[in-house]
A and B are shown apart, each in its own frame.
Chain A
Amino acid sequence: MPWPCQGIDFMAQKTNPKSRVHDLLGAVLGLFAAIVMATSPWQVDTSGPYPFYKGALIFPLMALGLMVMGSVPSFIRLLRPGATDSWHLDGGGLPRRPAVVLSMAVAFIIGIPMIGLEISCILFTASMLYYLGHRSPKIYVFWPLLLSGVFYLVFKYFLDVYFPTPLLLEYLGG
């Protein structure tokens, strides 16, 4: 059924359900499951007194088996592509914006123990807003400051959540 919405700019085209990207993802997940399955005797200690049916490995093997079973069609299609099969997914191109935002999020997480929650939050939100196209200082200065203040109040003041002392502060303080 077509999506009868106005006001939404979805990808250039609808997602192609037969794109080889689906097969690639299916095969990658299947391969991961097969590797984990093959190495499971080393990943899980089964030397205890429990018989296999009571042990720690029966259920994970069933789960991994499901993954491998589900990925078989993907493997076959990936190795033997049809004449009309293509890699075209939705015309949206490479996900550059999500990749950059994700990198910023990783930096935010690393920044919490390094420079502290407040500064890390201000830097992350400001840079994300600027990157996503907000050029007005009212937005990329006001909102990060507000969020940082709210986080301080909610997490540190009310919920009393422990945040590590920033390494930078320790370094500066000697």
Chain B
Amino acid sequence: MIEYMSQALVTTFTCSNITALVLGTLIGIVVGILPGLGPMVGMVVLLPFTFALPPAVALSLLLGVFCGGYFGGAVPAILMRTPGVPSSLVTSFDGFPLTQKGEAQTALSAALVGSLGGGIISVFILIFLAPALAHVAASFGPPEYFAAGLLGVVLVVMAYREKLAKGLILLGLGLWISTVGIDGPTLVPRFCFGTLAMQNGLHLVPVCLGLFGIGQTLMLVERKILVNARMSLTRRTLDFSKIAATLKYWKSLILSGVIGTFVGLLPGTGSILASFLSYETVKKVSGRAEAFGKGAPEGCLASEAGNNAVPAGAMIPLLTLGIPGDALSAVLLGVFTINGIYPGPLLLIKEPVLINTLYLSMLLINIVAFVILAIWLRPFAMVVRVSNTLLASIIMSLSLVGIYAVNTRLFDAGVALVMGTLGYILLRLEWPVVNLVMGVVLGEILEERLRESLSMSEGNPLIFLERPISLFLFVATFLIIVIPVLWDSRKARIRARNKGRDFS
């Protein structure tokens, strides 16, 4: 273990890894600060560049964007009540009132300390929890993997259960897209519509870059994001005396970090829930509930600690089971598989140096993001003044050239444009695009495991109910579908009864 850790230390502190880590964090902070972009756009735009990099460096670059995005999102939420990332909305509840009182530095200090603390706590939980979960997952066979994958997919679909039909359509579309091209076991071309280019399949990079990069850029072109000229910061750096003052909320910090990590661990829940849950819990526990919403630094701290704990939390099922919890970790899974690394219980045994490098890089990213924002707070905050149409032009051209560069195929750029159009339509109609990405990423894994399981049982689907872990996972999946439906129908009945009473 110590040997692996020392090797990981060396890998982490190589020049290329540190450069990737700092660059990723810088880009993450910028896309996090810019409302309308977010870490997903940053990650997918950088995705084509990761092919030329070793896996550890590629992951550091993307994780930098992932974590840096959450750090950056708090800045406009506090200064302008405009969250850079959706989960920073909760930070604005107390951050913006503090800014109005002239205490922006207090709010920013609390938010950044919260982000740093939440990030570090979650990485430590990841380090201790991942081997334990991997130990359980080591006894998994194809039926268990299929059941676990199905559970992950169902959790994501049920997270948008008010859009259940739309979610099912998009999940189905994603799963179908994953089957296009030559089928591995039978070497039969599938759904190629007579074209040679389709036989290579629809790669994850153009699909994700199209859906999120180009789709989001088209939204940016259409929906003008105005520059708020009133935003100003008197100091260039963070006020370090305020940082020390926020440390008295250490109990809230730990609580929020733990909540955020466990919310991130569950597929489909996302960082918004982590922020809300951390904020509400700290509000109840603190004994100062009346101060929350009016400018309590503790609120900013709790919300940011909660959402910044999500990336490491989401890494737990990704590394141990190979199941991504959201679209961002789905992209990371893509990077793993493109490099021939398949996350699962054996990953911790097979690639101990890579995994330890990943842990150390995540710790470093949190520190780097904190230091960057603490030193250059004002220059970064002023990023919101950059014209969104200029940004759209840069992102669009970079995306298209980047996609071409991956396989030097113009066909991929065409796929990205088609997916971009679809992404724009889905984003404008507010359909759950995450279901589509989950389908594309998990499709291959689910299909492989399903066919392996059915081969084991000679076509008998009851194999999934004959093995205890698989049965347990299927029962959990069934309950996750049934309980919310029963709960909703009960609520509807009560509402109808109350309505009847009102009329009588």
Which residues on A are within 8 Å of B, measured CB to CB? 4-11, 15, 17, 21-22, 25-26, 29-30, 33, 36, 40, 43-46, 48, 50-60, 62-74, 89-90, 92, 95, 97-98, 101-102, 105-106, 108-109, 112-113, 117, 121, 124-125, 128-129, 132-134, 139, 143, 147, 151, 155, 159, 161-163
Which of A36, A57, A59, A70 contacts B169 (CB under 8 A)?
Answer: A70
B168 to A66, Cβ gap below 8 A?
Answer: yes
- How near does chain A come to B57, taking the closest CB pair, in angstroms? 14
The interface residues of chain A, by DSSP majority, are classed as helix
A25, A53, A69, A159 interface centre (most CB from chain B within 10 Å): A53
B397 to A147, Cβ gap below 8 A?
Answer: yes
Decide if B31 is an interface residue (CB 8 Å cutoff).
Answer: no
A44, A45, A53, A98 interface centre (most CB from chain B within 10 Å): A98
Which of the 9-residue segments B81-89, B124-132, B302-310, B353-361 touches chain A? B81-89
Task: Please judge, given known A-B contacts A50-B186, A56-B190, A134-B387, whether A155 and B430 are in contact too, CB under 8 Å.
Answer: no
A54, A92, A159 interface centre (most CB from chain B within 10 Å): A54
Which residues of chain B have C-beta atoms less than 8 A from A121's C-beta? 397, 401
Which of the 9-residue segments B170-178, B283-291, B318-326, B475-483 touches chain A? B170-178
Which residues of chain A have C-beta atoms less than 8 A from B175's C-beta? 59, 62-63, 66
A71 to B414, Cβ gap below 8 A?
Answer: no
Interface string of B408-425 (1 = CB under 8 A from A): 101001100100110011
- How near does chain A come to B73, taking the closest CB pair, in angstroms? 13
A48 to B81, CA, bound (A): 61
A92 to B224, CA, bound (A): 12
B408 to A43, Cβ gap below 8 A?
Answer: no
A11 to B183, Cβ gap below 8 A?
Answer: no
Which residues of chain B have C-beta atoms less than 8 A from A129's C-beta? 389-390, 393
A161 to B408, Cβ gap below 8 A?
Answer: yes
Decide if B197 is an interface residue (CB 8 Å cutoff).
Answer: no
The interface residues of chain B, by DSSP majority, are classed as helix
Which of A70, A139, A151 contacts B166 (CB under 8 A)?
Answer: A70
A133 to B389, Cβ gap below 8 A?
Answer: yes
A43 to B191, Cβ gap below 8 A?
Answer: yes
Q: How many residues of B contact A (CB 8 A)?
A: 78
Within 8 A of A (CB), among B313-358: none
Which residues on B are within 8 Å of A, measured CB to CB? 35-36, 49, 52, 80-83, 89, 92, 164-169, 171-173, 175-176, 179, 183, 185-186, 188-193, 214, 217-219, 221-228, 387, 389-390, 392-394, 396-398, 400-401, 404-405, 408, 410, 413-414, 417, 420-421, 424-425, 428-431, 439, 443, 446-447, 450-451, 454-455, 459
CB-based closest 4 A-B pairs: A70-B168, A66-B172, A67-B172, A63-B175
A124 to B173, CA, bound (A): 32
- How near does chain A come to B398, taking the closest CB pair, in angstroms? 8
Known A-B contacts: A4-B89, A56-B188. Give 6 more (CB < 8 A).
A4-B92, A43-B192, A70-B165, A95-B222, A98-B219, A98-B222
A65 to B172, CA, bound (A): 8
Which residues of chain A have C-beta atoms less than 8 A from B455's C-beta? 53-54
Which of B173, B219, B224, B413 contacts A109 (CB under 8 A)?
Answer: B413
A71 to B169, CA, bound (A): 7
Which residues of chain A have C-beta atoms less than 8 A from B401's C-beta? 117, 121, 151, 155
A132 to B450, Cβ gap below 8 A?
Answer: no
With both beta carbons as reference points, the residue of chain A lying nearest to B183 in the complex is identified as A56
A4 to B191, Cβ gap below 8 A?
Answer: no
A143 to B420, Cβ gap below 8 A?
Answer: no
Task: Please judge, given known A-B contacts A8-B226, A10-B223, A43-B191, whether A105 and B80 are in contact too, CB under 8 Å.
Answer: no
Which of A15, A40, A72, A73 contacts B429 (CB under 8 A)?
Answer: A15
Which residues of chain A have C-beta atoms less than 8 A from B172's C-beta? 33, 63-70
A160 to B297, CA, bound (A): 50
- How near does chain A come to B424, taking the closest CB pair, in angstroms? 6
A102 to B218, Cβ gap below 8 A?
Answer: yes
Between A and B, how many residue pairs show CB distances below 8 Å?
223
B169 to A53, Cβ gap below 8 A?
Answer: no
A113 to B222, Cβ gap below 8 A?
Answer: no
A sample of 21 inter-chain contacts (CB < 8 A) reads A17-B430, A25-B425, A25-B431, A36-B191, A43-B193, A51-B459, A54-B185, A63-B173, A69-B172, A71-B169, A72-B165, A101-B217, A101-B221, A102-B417, A124-B397, A132-B389, A134-B389, A143-B394, A155-B405, A161-B404, A162-B408
A171 to B271, CA, bound (A): 55
A68 to B446, CA, bound (A): 19
- How near does chain B come to A55, taking the closest CB pair, in angstroms? 7
Task: Please judge, given known A-B contacts A54-B455, A59-B175, A161-B405, whether A7 and B227 are in contact too, CB under 8 Å.
Answer: yes
A4 to B450, Cβ gap below 8 A?
Answer: no
A7 to B228, Cβ gap below 8 A?
Answer: yes
- How near does chain B come to A152, taking the closest CB pair, in angstroms? 10
With both beta carbons as reference points, the residue of chain A lying nearest to B184 in the complex is identified as A56
Which residues of chain A have C-beta atoms less than 8 A from B219's C-beta? 98
A62 to B442, CA, bound (A): 14
